Structure 1
Amino acid sequence: MIEPLILPDLVAELPAAVRMQRLVHVLREHFQCGAVVLLQRSEDCLKPLAAAGLVQEALGRRFEIASHPRLAALISRKEPTWFDPDSPLPDPYDGLLDSSPGEPLPVHDCMGVSLYGEGRLWGVLTMDALRAGTFDEAARRELQALIPLIEACVRVTRLEQENRTLRLSRTGEQPGLPAIDEHVLGHSPIITGLLEELSVVADSELPVLLSGETGVGKELFARWVHSNSRRADKPLIHVNCAALPETLAESELFGHVKGAFSGAMTDRGGRFDAAHGGTILLDEVGELPLSIQAKLLRTLQNGEIQRIGADKPIKVDVRIIAATNRKLAESVAAGDFRADLYHRLSVYPVPIPPLRDRGNDILLLAGHFLELNRIRLGVRSLRLSPEAEQALLGYQWPGNVRELEHVISRAALKALGRNGSRQGIISLEAAHLDIASAAQVNEPVADSLSATPGDGAGELASLRQFTDACQRQHLRAALERANDNWAAAARMLDIDPSNLHKLAKRLGLKAS
């Protein structure tokens, strides 16, 4: 009997993610299958909320219903659906079951069911196996009988989330993260902590300054802040400050009146007019000319804009989110950025972490890009080989998420070109990625210890590569001397143990 294993979780106070994960694990053990996945519907896609038996990168995928006929079939019926082992319909998890880490294998047996809450479609539960005949008639009848219990788990989780939000709103506390997020992918502690911080600031009206390296996704996090703010139903206007010509920047931001300059044939509002009531994202704000910075400061101070040629200012209600890959404090010291504007923009500064610090989030993001490329290229299945996964985790990602997206897209094209067939399971190998693993990075760094320009020893490694290599070597030596005792190694290195673990994860010496 499986019911006694599920029923206690219905009355226990558990985090939603824990309850869902326990549910899929119990179902997988009971039905003796390869994978069980619980997916929630979000518009035209299905998003995995909990999974047992899939490779990690699969959890980052968003399964477009129109591109997956089996998922579409599950949604179209309320009773369980079973697919014959010889069904020509591709399975969305072909090659993604972690029980086949070597040669990727297609799924041979599959069944699932749509799940409802309060009469509305909530999502689906899928079960997959590599052995044909796993889901016999008895298994299908049992799944039918379990539907009310599975839907009850979903309903309890949803009600607990709603009650917690209501309770916290009455006490004036923050409700925390929304149950479903449509954009940000990641479960690493650094991203979880960042979203918790952003959920607090999102509900305020404070200006936010997002900083971080190129490609970390500052625009994405700005959209997250806006969509979780009181202005979510109002516009978010994106302005790329680096792309604004200095001669047109003032007009683009604040607008102009007819006759203000040659070619101004009519009154025209600017980006701040368009953002009235909502949010404006000033991307690469550090590139704004000093003359425009003074006018932007006035808007921040007084909530007013003045169109070019106009006699009177106009009141605007706009929240400002600024983003930059510059260190604005240094720009202020160099005289390239106004100190008063910097202090106004950085009321709430938020650094966005680089991809190399996000651990296994790299695989979730890779899975997301793999699914996008699978649809784009029209192939049955795209997956990462174990060696490719290790290469991704060991690389330093100087271009961050943007670089990861490009690497996956190029690798998918290379793998398809060598495979030739779009109907099979295509594995992306480490060679397709064309990136240096952490171990490969060590070699040129070590060689550069004695290398000088022009001595024939090759190019010097970057300072970041050199520093990481030295830290990696020193950490390995400490661990070896401490017999792999992390606490003892931390004492030797005079570093807090938690910081040592974080450093080891960033350097690729420890799994997240």
Structure 2
Amino acid sequence: MTTKEVLGAVLPALEALPGDLPDEQRFAPLLEAVRALLPCDATALLRLEGDTLRPLAVAGLTHDTLGRRFRLADHPRLLTLLQRRGPTRLAADCELPDPYDGLVQGRPGQLEVHDCMGCPLYVADQPWGLLTLDALDPRAFDAVDVAFLDTLGRLVAALVAVGERIGGLTRQAQREQQLARALAEEPAPLRHRELAGHSAPMRRLQREIDTVAGTDLTVLITGETGVGKELVAQAIHARSRRARQPLITLNCAALPDNLVESELFGHVRGAFTGAVGERCGKFELADGGTLLLDEVGELPLGVQAKLLRVLQSGQLQRLGSDREHRVDVRVLAATNRDLAAEVRAGRFRADLYHRLGAYPLTVPPLRERGRDVLLLAGGFLEENRVRLGLRGLRLAADAQQALLHQPWPGNVRELEHLLARAALRALAGQTPRPRILTLHAEHLDLAPAGGAAADHDAAALPSAGTSLRQAVDEVQRRLIEQALARHAGNWAAAARELGQDRGNLQRLARRLGLK
């Protein structure tokens, strides 16, 4: 291959590096260049994070691969590739399970990868990650020059380093030490959950988190049930100066009213029936760190007043005690309620609402996140693959389309549970047990894509004889009513769903007689 051909393939990758793009788009041209230079069906760029490889970009693999996390303890093939300094080609009859089985977008029915090469990437002489090449043909890499792949790997590593520096991405130090330490640790059964997503709403949310994380401002995290508000809180804490201190969580809805105050502020012996000793509350446990008040809208009004005092002065009294304790705690609050409406209804204190909402963040619902649903599905599929002891767990094309066309009223939590049920349904009755399990739309047990929506649209059509202006008004009225119903009366969330400014939407609603 000539130098001109190599440069022609690599130049588009160079041009993509300076853009303000997510990793998937930033490095996609780089992987396409690799596919143009080498005879592979699929290639992936994976970054080493502790004991796990995280896909940054893929080419020729299903989109849900980006949501998977490959723990080295679970994937000895990837570990083998990573531990060797130079490029490695694994034999076609290698017994080590391939993490990409069932994920290569190749010939229908051919699920297992037969030819595999990998090249570890080093940045500043530290192991950064891995470039993998896979083919369905067991002889695809027979003519590949290993020296050329080694040179290409060095070039990819250099481009990755430049791309990350331009993009301002943070990296963990001393990767080689992390790898050695991680491999010596006892592996956890499942991966740590993270706030994942490449869609525009999630990118905006990540930027907001980066903006507020380094401050001590109180953050009010709102969003529907199941969107991942607790993960947002964890991300804020992890990026704050308090990251080495504890993150304590209290679910305000899970406690009887008479115990909430004790849980928050602690109590002394004899403060109430059953208080047989002193106990510190969540504020004292979180001293120096962060306290997440989940479902904060459920707090009784009496406790709200005492919470406000702690937020203002940093001082608290244990229940039954006159002695004050001073604490240094950053408070994050989460709720799926419209607290402004709760204030108007007299169920939530206005002063506490404004104190908690110093920096409001809204987590977008899954239905507004586009192809993020497949990325999230990939992570849940990998968890279930490990849990069920399978070599591969994948989504068929019809299952992917079914997931993309669902409204997801239960959001990410609903997706997680649905995929767990689907894996069990698909596995039931299969003898012998398959090595690679494919989930089809029938296993998801979802309404056919478009069916319910079509019936709904037909029912929403105005009656015959209606003027055009009346028809438009009626459709707008129904759309606004439905959006408000889905968001429990939250005008800001309804406006985002409908692509409108909140003020304009409210003015339109008044004209239509909805306010």
2:117 alignment partner AA: M
Determine the C-alpha separation between the residues in 2 that align with 1:349 and 1:11. 36
1:25 corresponds in structure 2 to: 32
Contact 1:96 1:104 in 2 (8 A): no
2:184 corresponds in structure 1 to: none
Correspondence 1:310 to 2:317: no
SS at match of 2:27: helix
Superposition deviation, residue 155 in structure 1: 2.6
Determine the C-alpha separation between the residues in 1 that align with 2:454 and 2:119. 52
2:162 corresponds in structure 1 to: 156
Identity %: 50
Superposition deviation, residue 108 in structure 1: 1.5
SS at match of 2:428: helix
Determine the C-alpha separation between the residues in 1 that align with 2:251 and 2:194. 20
Determine the C-alpha separation between the residues in 1 that align with 2:195 and 2:398. 26
1:415 corresponds in structure 2 to: 426
1:336 corresponds in structure 2 to: 347
Determine the C-alpha separation between the residues in 2 that align with 1:139 and 1:298. 70
Superposition deviation, residue 140 in structure 1: 2.8
Q: 1:252 to 1:118 in 2, by over 3 A?
A: same
2:220 alignment partner AA: L
2:153 corresponds in structure 1 to: 147
Contact 2:39 2:141 in 1 (8 A): no
Q: What's the TM-score, normalizing by structure 1?
A: 0.81
Determine the C-alpha separation between the residues in 1 that align with 2:361 and 2:169. 30
Contact 1:380 1:422 in 2 (8 A): no
Correspondence 1:134 to 2:140: yes
Contact 1:115 1:151 in 2 (8 A): yes
Q: Map Cα deviations across residues 40-85 of structure 1 (whole Å, 9 max, x no partner).
A: 0112211001211111111111112111121011122112121222
Q: CA RMSD in A?
A: 3.0
Contact 2:291 2:331 in 1 (8 A): yes
Superposed, which structure 2 residues align to 1:121-200 within 5 Å? 121-136=127-142, 138-161=144-167, 183-200=194-211
1:454 corresponds in structure 2 to: none
Superposition deviation, residue 420 in structure 1: 3.6
Q: Map Cα deviations across residues 201-253 of structure 1 (whole Å, 9 max, x no partner).
A: 11221111111111011101111111112211211111100012212111111
1:87 corresponds in structure 2 to: 94
Corresponding residue to 1:52 among 59, 69, 73: 59
Determine the C-alpha separation between the residues in 1 that align with 2:297 and 2:481. 33
Determine the C-alpha separation between the residues in 1 that align with 2:158 and 2:245. 35
Determine the C-alpha separation between the residues in 1 that align with 2:260 and 2:386. 39
Contact 1:235 1:278 in 2 (8 A): yes
2:182 corresponds in structure 1 to: none
1:6 alignment partner AA: V
Superposition deviation, residue 448 in structure 1: 5.9
Unaligned runs of 5+ in 1: 166-180, 451-463, 472-494, 501-512
Superposition deviation, residue 112 in structure 1: 0.4
Superposed, which structure 2 residues align to 1:56-71 within 5 Å? 56-71=63-78
Q: 1:135 to 1:410 in 2, by over 3 A?
A: same
Superposition deviation, residue 421 in structure 1: 4.1
2:187 corresponds in structure 1 to: none
Q: 1:420 to 1:396 in 2, by over 3 A?
A: farther
Correspondence 1:107 to 2:113: yes
Determine the C-alpha separation between the residues in 1 that align with 2:153 and 2:453. 53
Corresponding residue to 2:126 among 120, 130, 137: 120
Size of the aligned set, in residue pairs, is: 447
Contact 1:254 1:272 in 2 (8 A): yes
Q: 1:104 to 1:218 in 2, by over 3 A?
A: farther
Contact 2:12 2:29 in 1 (8 A): no
Superposition deviation, residue 185 in structure 1: 1.1
1:72 corresponds in structure 2 to: 79
Unaligned runs of 5+ in 2: 172-191, 462-474, 483-494, 501-515
Corresponding residue to 1:234 among 230, 245, 249: 245
Superposition deviation, residue 154 in structure 1: 2.6
1:145 alignment partner AA: T
Determine the C-alpha separation between the residues in 2 that align with 1:8 and 1:329. 49
